[in-house]
Amino acid sequence: MPIDDYKRIIALLPEATLIVSGSGMLLAVNGPALKLLDLNKGQVAGSLLDLVEEVLREETLAYLQRCARSKQALVGAFRLATNAGIQALTAKGAVLDPRTEGREASVLLRLFTRDEANARFQSLKDQIDQLNMEVARRRRAEYEHREQTRWLEVTLSSIGDAVITVDAQNRVSFMNPVAEVMTGWTQDEALGESLERVFVIVNEYTGEPVPNPSERALRERTIVELANHTVLIDKAGGRVAIEDTAAPIILEDEIRGAILVFHDVSDRRVLERQLMERAEHLELANRRKNEFLAMLAHELRSPLAPISNAVEIMRMQSDQLLTFAGPQKVIARQVQHLKRLVDDMLDVSRITRGKMNIVHEDSDFAALAGLSCSDFRAQFERAGIRFDVAIPANAIAIQADPDRITQVLHNLLSNALKFTPTGGAVSVSVAVEGQFAVLHVADTGSGIEEAELPDLFDPFTQAAQTLDRSTGGLGLGLSLVKGIVGLHGGRVSARSEGAGKGSTFTVWLPLAERATQTAPASATGSGKSPGSSETAHRVLLIEDEKDTAATMQQLLDLLGHEVHLAHTGPEGLKKAMAIAPTLIICDIGLPGLDGFAVAQRLRQSATTESTPLVALTGYGDGDVIQRARDAGFDHHVTKPASLEDIRQLLTVKRRR
């Protein structure tokens, strides 16, 4: 633009404005600048540097040269010697016309007094920015358009993603080399073609066409991303999984076209499929693990059942076998220990799978804690451990599964017993704190290292032990405590000052919404006290494991019952029809017909449709118990059954 045009423009500005060359020559000065510098028009010729204090001229020249290279306004400080004396001014300068061959760059300078600069900074900035944009737009619009087009093509051609641009009618106007490779079209072939013809996309799974994202970008003026599972079909029919984004190109609020950016995600899709397959494999492995645990429990319980039965037989004939009293107690203790290990293992599996069945009922937490402490008192006395109990006499009402809460109490007391040496002490206290029933079990035992506390309630976690493993166990007890308490809406914590300093376990359980003043009728969750049956039964025992069947028959004989054996499902059905039993005890895993099928057929016969039917099996999973009920069983007992369990099942009535 000619200098005279610039002069006319800056003459309209209210701020002191100069146009100088990169070397400082004055090219144009508006009226406010003449007034500020106390100059007349005749003094405009020459160099701005002549007005600058001599010691600052080199610094001022460097500032002007920086402005000559910058499109952004740069701030500088001037000290000018004018007719009015030395003036300290603030300047803002930026290139007006860049340097070309044979011509210096011109710089637009705006001058302010220091006070004026501070007071009018924001207002002047906006006005001058508008001036700069207007001047630049008029002179460089066409030039910049050409440069930007060339720069855009170079940029889009060099990036790793495929790029296609279209005009406002969705016709191809540009393709970079990556897009050419992925679509199979060259740019020369594609120019002017409809994008739908060049960029063909379908759903990876259905093969149905997918709406072209550029159409929506043009229509809605918004950025659009393709849905997952999109496949690009190239010109030769090849398929490649892609992700893409389309965005409108808007200039002066007018849609000029759209840009489509896409890339190959085939490797990622393969990885996703592999991860999905791995997840499915892990899920299958976990399911097989749980099935293995259930089967392992069954297989472990099968030999335990005849051992347990034999112990009970020996106990019932103890007057004749006094010499076996000691070994009998050892066997009984070890059988119960093995049974607890199997039960703990399965309970952890149930909690992990969310399969543990919790039956909430009105319960007295104080009574449950008192009974559990009574169960353990003799064991603490035998171990030489002082056992202090502080449980209130009044009821503490909670909504809970009494059997499971008793399991929590037993696990915590057993833990304290195992880790407290002779001469130590264990204390149990129960109280109400706010809306919670709170249990504290404290011991003076081996304590817990601080590093072990965060993982203490994880399955299979145990404190460090010596090779003799004197405390034993699988490391499942505390995990069960946490899981069961959590299923009741409570929480549990452990605290210890370190090794050898004892530990304290605390359980919080929410109180029942309507706390009762008396204890529930059944604190332990069991029915009437176990005892022998008042009426002798004609029992049909269907059991394929010979030792279990023989010892169970002998035990029932000693209890005064007539027992008939069957070792397969079909044999059991045949004997049931022949003898019309008053009680049927049936295993689940039977040859010929399993226990479920036997139960269903027994219920279809007039002879046995109302006969009490008990499942006595090594399968103790909740799903098996429910299937047993659905098949027609009235009760379920998990092997090995104790003498109390057997006496209890002899009182079972037909479930209505």
Which residues share a beta bridge with 26? 20
Statement: the pTM of the whole predicted model exceeds 0.75: no
Residue holding tokens 């037993």?
Answer: 410
Residue 467 has pLDDT above 50, yes or no: no
| Residue 596 confidence (pLDDT) | 94
Q: What is the pLDDT of residues 590-624, one digit of tens each?
A: 998 999 999 999 999 999 999 999 998 877 777 78
Q: What is the pLDDT of residues 334-343, one digit of tens each?
A: 566 566 656 6
The pLDDT > 90 percentage for the chain reads: 25
CA within 13 Å, CB half, 443: 24
- Read off the DSSP letter of residue 41: G
| Residue 119 confidence (pLDDT) | 60
Residue 331 has pLDDT above 80, yes or no: no
Q: What is the mean pLDDT of residues 500-522?
A: 72
As given in the structure block, the two tokens for residue 580 are 């019309």
Q: What is the mean pLDDT of residues 222-239?
A: 83
Q: Are 440 and 505 in contact (CB under 8 A)?
A: yes
Same fold flag, 3-152 and 159-264: yes
Q: Are 371 and 410 in contact (CB under 8 A)?
A: no
Q: How, if at all, do strands 397-400 and 224-225 pair?
A: unpaired
Q: What is the mean pLDDT of residues 463-469?
A: 40
| Residue 564 confidence (pLDDT) | 94
Residue 525 has pLDDT above 50, yes or no: no
Q: What is the pLDDT of residues 346-364, one digit of tens each?
A: 666 666 666 667 778 899 9
Tell me, what amino acid is at 145? H
The CATH superfamily of 159-264 is PAS domain (3.30.450.20)
| Residue 492 confidence (pLDDT) | 93
Residue 385 has pLDDT above 60, yes or no: yes
Interatomic CA distance for residues 475 and 32, integer angstroms: 89
Max mean pLDDT among 156-160, 277-281, 504-508, 649-653 falls in 504-508
The contacts of residue 449 (CB under 8 Å, 6+ apart) are 463, 464, 496, 498, 499
Residue 518: band (very low, low, confident or very high) from pLDDT cuts 50, 70, 90: very low
Residue holding tokens 């893409």?
Answer: 244
Residue 460: band (very low, low, confident or very high) from pLDDT cuts 50, 70, 90: low
Q: What is the mean pLDDT of residues 210-216?
A: 84
Residue 520 has pLDDT above 60, yes or no: no
Which residues share a beta bridge with 260? 164, 246
- Read off the DSSP letter of residue 650: T
Q: What architecture is domain 538-649? A: 3-Layer(aba) Sandwich (3.40)
Q: What are phi and psi of 600, to 5 degrees?
A: -60, -40
Is 359 in a helix, a strand, or coil?
coil
Q: Are 22 and 104 in contact (CB under 8 A)?
A: yes
Residue 563: band (very low, low, confident or very high) from pLDDT cuts 50, 70, 90: very high
Quickly name the fold that domain 3-152 has: Beta-Lactamase (3.30.450)
CA within 13 Å, CB half, 322: 1
| Residue 527 confidence (pLDDT) | 38
Q: What is the mean pLDDT of the chain?
A: 80
| Residue 421 confidence (pLDDT) | 92
Is 30 in a helix, a strand, or coil?
coil
The reply to whether CATH 3.40.50.300 applies to domain 361-510 is: no
Interatomic CA distance for residues 631 and 590, integer angstroms: 15
Residue 470 has pLDDT above 50, yes or no: no
As given in the structure block, the two tokens for residue 263 are 């890339």
Residue 532 has pLDDT above 50, yes or no: no
Nearest to 509 by CA among 630, 339, 369, 631: 369
Interatomic CA distance for residues 620 and 603, integer angstroms: 22
Nearest to 523 by CA among 639, 377, 407, 365: 365
Residue 535 has pLDDT above 80, yes or no: no
As given in the structure block, the two tokens for residue 248 are 């409108």
How many residues can be counted in the chain?
656
Residue 533 has pLDDT above 60, yes or no: no
Q: What is the pLDDT of residues 65-85, one digit of tens each?
A: 999 988 888 988 888 776 667
The pLDDT > 70 percentage for the chain reads: 76
Q: What is the pLDDT of residues 435-444, one digit of tens each?
A: 999 999 999 9
Helices (H), ranges, 317-440: 325-353, 365-382, 402-419
Nearest to 45 by CA among 21, 68, 67, 28: 28
Residue 380 has pLDDT above 70, yes or no: yes
Residue 365: band (very low, low, confident or very high) from pLDDT cuts 50, 70, 90: very high
| Residue 524 confidence (pLDDT) | 39
Going through 425-558 in order, the beta strands assigned E by DSSP cover 425-433, 436-443, 491-495, 503-510, 538-542
- Dihedral angle over CA of 470, 475, 476, 478, nearest 10: 90
Least confident segment among 138-152, 184-198, 238-252, 505-519: 138-152
Q: Are 390 and 485 in contact (CB under 8 A)?
A: no
Q: What is the pLDDT of residues 267-308, one digit of tens each?
A: 888 888 888 888 887 887 676 666 656 656 665 665 666 666
Residue 528 has pLDDT above 60, yes or no: no
H or E segment to which residue 111 belongs: strand 106-113
Q: What is the mean pLDDT of residues 88-100?
A: 86
Q: Are 412 and 481 in contact (CB under 8 A)?
A: yes
Q: What are phi and psi of 525, to 5 degrees?
A: 80, 5
Task: Domain ranges for the chain, please list them.
Answer: 3-152, 159-264, 278-353, 361-510, 538-649
As given in the structure block, the two tokens for residue 101 are 């061959």
As given in the structure block, the two tokens for residue 126 are 């906006």
Nearest to 427 by CA among 509, 504, 367: 504
Burial 510-527 (b: 16+ CB within 10 A, else e): bbbeeeeeebbeebebee
